[in-house]
């Protein structure tokens, strides 16, 4: 990762982005502490300029991205442009249809989840272009998909692309991936999909989209690449955020525990190796985390500062009889389903995390990652309270010892030592500062930025609300900054439910969930500070999923925010940290505005006029300084 510019340059970048936000689209978030501000880049329902480099859907001059914006990754296209990939977390049958190449000169249609790209001008911080991010799909065998039969369950499209990550080649000097890759997974499984979702890799250089069958089937929230210490191998940590599901007849219904997975593979250096193979994403091994002392439940591993020593143990991924819907325990290509992997993981004594969600690599130690476990109240019930042991959620640190595993050692490797520690325990925090941690990023400033997504309305036994009236923390869903060393939490912003927008319609949008606290969420947080020449932890991208802005055709027939089109409302937003100088000037400006209000109450007319005139000059001077500074 490249270093940032001088301090004043970073200050100008940070505040310059915000200076353009005046009189622009209202933002769906309300800023809190932490010294940040933000600007809306895109609101669902708006069109963006389009070009046809990867677009085979005609020669349209504009592109209207669907809603349910989610995981993101970004890279620098040139010194003036940042390209951002954005997931759309649509079910396979949602959204308008689009076309991809069939590999034979024709196309075939898909619906459902997809990945868009947005090109952002670094100087103006405006979207210059956008479109579909891929044109060709490669199935689990490495063949070009010629129709939608590569999808499980006779689906008509991808399902629920959730969080995401983008990694540059050779992230750790001479180690890491060979190519730049955008990873995204289908967060689909359980009762909704007996096969489980697949993990996918987008090649930004070609617009080709590859299935990664050796990473297994699961409700993949996200993956993150780790540093193995070897130039020959790659490692990927995978988080299975499953829907309520129970593959074990002896366990309670609604079990939402899932193991933590690790994939390790050797890079294929053959000249004809394809994209997955040369990046070590084909033919590797899958592992699950097992405690050395036998713990398998969150109730056996609690409290911030606690840690468990364990290891990633190799998982049996032997295939079997293919089936379209997973009824044999294997998918249509004969690979184990999500359920089969779970059963095999349980047999190894894998720890069951309470709905694992997002993962991100420590930018200062490539063998470490952070894991958010959102928590649920239907798993690992405490007899005394009837609450789930991990209802409010937990944030873990995962540290793996790869011992510099190289390609020669990998065939004989069966385990990797790994220590898991608790950074934050939501159930043990009486202030409920962080609830239902979901998406996150470990930023270059060393801090972890975590977004909330309400997993439960209240606790199962004691009926304590997690969000809204009656909750200890009544705020709407927040993003917070979490210190990985102390566990301290600083709120950055929360969702603003009063901003209800539908640019596709002439009517006023309606929040169908207005009465339900915590129904909206933010997602996709990613640190893009270096791409915008900012100091570490100073510039981020995130999005808003305004879940209540749906079915708008019930109110206005012209709206495109419907299940079969754009699905739901939301925004893409850039977040920047205020510099010390900017904050000082703004504080001074606020102080002067207070003095003007006080001066208006002076009885003596001449004295009042003189004071107000003096304060107005000071106010104008500071306002001009803020304006010309950027």
What pLDDT, in 10s, does the model give residues 338-385?
Answer: 999 999 999 999 999 999 999 999 999 999 999 999 999 888 999 999
Give CA–CA dist 71/89, Å, rounded.
9
Task: Please check the confidence at residue 528 and state whether its pLDDT lies above 60.
Answer: yes
The answer to whether residue 211 scores a pLDDT higher than 50 is yes
How many Å apart are CA 371 and CA 360, to the nearest integer? Answer: 7
Closest CA to 167 of 179, 153, 151: 179
Two tokens, residue 498: 């009063």
Write down the pLDDT at residue 4.
30
Q: pLDDT at residue 221 above 50?
A: yes
CB within 8 A of 588, min separation 6: which ones? 622
Question: What whole-number distance in Å separates Cα of residue 131 and Cα of residue 116?
Answer: 6
- 30: closest CA among 544, 436, 504, 531? 544
Where on the phi/psi map is residue 425: left (φ > 0), alpha (ψ -120 to 50), or beta?
Answer: beta
**Average pLDDT, whole number, for the chain?**
90
Residue 63 confidence (pLDDT) above 50: yes
CA distances from 619 to 313, 594, 602, 624 (A): 64, 11, 19, 9
pLDDT per residue as tens digits for the range 420-470: 999 999 999 999 999 999 999 999 999 999 999 999 999 999 999 999 999
Q: Tell me, what's the pLDDT at 609?
A: 81
CB distance 40 to 46 below 8 Å:
no
Pairing of strands 568-577, 36-43: antiparallel
pLDDT for 621 beyond 50: yes
Closest by alpha carbon to 507, among 546, 570, 549? 549
Per-residue pLDDT of 186-206, as tens digits, reads 999 877 788 999 999 999 999
Region of poorest pLDDT, from 97-106, 183-192, 215-224: 183-192
pLDDT at 71: 98
* Contact present, 50 and 62 (Cβ < 8 Å): yes
pLDDT of residue 249: 47
CATH of domain 7-578: 2.120.10.30
Q: How many whole angstroms separate alpha carbon 354 and alpha carbon 259?
A: 9
By CB neighbour count within 10 A (0-12 exposed, 13-18 middle, 19+ buried), where does 200 fall? Answer: buried
Q: Could you tell me whether strands 539-550 and 29-31 are parallel, antiparallel, or unpaired per DSSP bridges?
A: unpaired
Q: How confident is the model at residue 256 (pLDDT cuts 50, 70, 90)?
A: low
Identify the pLDDT of residue 626: 52
Domain boundaries, the chain: 7-578, 583-630
Q: What is the pLDDT of residues 464-515, one digit of tens each?
A: 999 999 999 999 999 999 999 999 999 999 999 999 999 999 999 999 999 9
Q: Which whole number is the average pLDDT over 595-613? A: 81
With b meaning 16 or more CB within 10 Å and e meaning fewer, what string describes 607-626?
eeeebbeebeeebeebeeeb
Q: Are 43 and 560 in contact (CB under 8 A)?
A: no
- Bridge-based pairing of strands 136-138 and 208-211 is parallel
Rounded percentage of the chain residues whose pLDDT exceeds 70: 89
């Amino acid at each position: 990762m490249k270093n940032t510019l001088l301090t004043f340059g970073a200050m100008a970048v940070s505040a310059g982005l915000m200076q353009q936000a005046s009189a622009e689209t209202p933002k769906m978030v309300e800023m809190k502490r932490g010294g940040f501000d933000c600007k809306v880049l895109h609101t669902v329902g708006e069109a963006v300029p389009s070009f046809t480099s990867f677009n085979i859907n005609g020669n349209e001059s504009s592109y209207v991205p669907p809603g349910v914006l989610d995981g993101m990754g970004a890279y620098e296209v040139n010194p003036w442009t940042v390209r951002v990939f954005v997931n759309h977390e649509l079910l396979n049958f949602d959204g308008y249809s689009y076309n991809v190449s069939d590999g034979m000169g024709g196309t075939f249609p898909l619906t459902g989840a997809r990945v868009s790209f947005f090109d952002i001008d670094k100087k103006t911080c405006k979207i210059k272009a956008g479109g579909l991010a891929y044109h060709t799909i490669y199935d689990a065998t490495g063949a070009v998909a010629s129709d939608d039969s590569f999808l499980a369950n006779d689906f008509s499209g991808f399902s629920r692309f959730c969080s995401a990550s983008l990694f540059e080649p050779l992230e750790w000097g001479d180690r890491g991936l060979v190519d730049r890759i955008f990873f995204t997974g289908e967060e689909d499984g359980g009762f909704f999909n007996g096969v489980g979702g697949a993990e996918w890799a987008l090649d930004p250089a070609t617009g080709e989209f590859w299935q990664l069958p050796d990473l297994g089937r699961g409700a993949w929230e996200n993956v993150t690449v780790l540093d193995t210490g070897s130039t020959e191998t790659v490692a990927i940590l995978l988080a299975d955020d499953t829907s309520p599901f129970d593959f074990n007849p002896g366990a309670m219904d609604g079990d939402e525990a899932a193991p933590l997975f690790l994939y390790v593979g050797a890079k294929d250096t053959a000249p004809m190796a394809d994209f997955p193979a040369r990046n070590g994403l084909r033919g590797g091994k899958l592992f699950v985390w097992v405690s050395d002392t036998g713990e398998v439940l969150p109730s056996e591993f609690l409290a911030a500062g606690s840690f468990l020593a364990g290891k990633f143990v190799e998982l049996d991924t032997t295939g079997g009889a293919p089936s379209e819907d997973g009824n044999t325990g294997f998918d249509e290509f004969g690979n184990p389903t999500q359920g089969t992997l779970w059963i095999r993981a349980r047999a190894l004594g894998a720890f069951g995390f309470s709905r694992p969600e997002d993962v991100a690599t420590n930018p200062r130690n490539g063998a470490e990652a952070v894991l958010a476990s959102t928590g649920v109240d239907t798993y690992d019930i405490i007899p005394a309270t009837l609450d789930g042991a991990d209802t409010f959620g937990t944030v873990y640190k995962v540290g793996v010892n790869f011992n510099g595993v190289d390609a020669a050692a990998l065939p004989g490797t069966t385990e990797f030592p790994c220590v898991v520690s608790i950074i934050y325990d939501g159930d043990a925090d009486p202030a409920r500062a962080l609830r239902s941690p979901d998406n996150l990023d470990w930023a270059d400033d060393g801090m972890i930025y975590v977004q909330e997504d309400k997993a439960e309305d209240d606790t199962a036994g004691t009926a304590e609300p997690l969000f809204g009236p009656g909750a200890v923390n009544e705020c709407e869903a927040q993003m917070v900054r979490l210190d990985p060393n102390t566990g301290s939490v600083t709120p950055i912003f929360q969702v603003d439910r009063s901003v209800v927008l539908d640019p596709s319609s002439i009517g006023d949008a309606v929040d169908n969930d207005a009465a339900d606290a915590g129904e909206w969420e933010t997602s996709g947080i990613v640190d893009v500070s270096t791409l915008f020449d900012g100091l570490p932890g100073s510039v981020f991208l995130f999005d808003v999923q305004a879940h209540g802005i749906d079915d708008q055709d019930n109110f206005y027939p012209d709206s495109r925010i419907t299940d079969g089109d754009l699905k739901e409302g939301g925004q893409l937003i850039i977040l920047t940290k205020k510099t010390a100088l900017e904050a000082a000037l703004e504080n001074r400006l606020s102080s002067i505005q207070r003095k003007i209000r006080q001066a208006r109450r002076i009885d003596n007319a001449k004295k009042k006029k003189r004071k107000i005139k003096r304060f107005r000059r000071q106010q104008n001077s500071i306002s001009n300084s803020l304006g010309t500074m950027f």
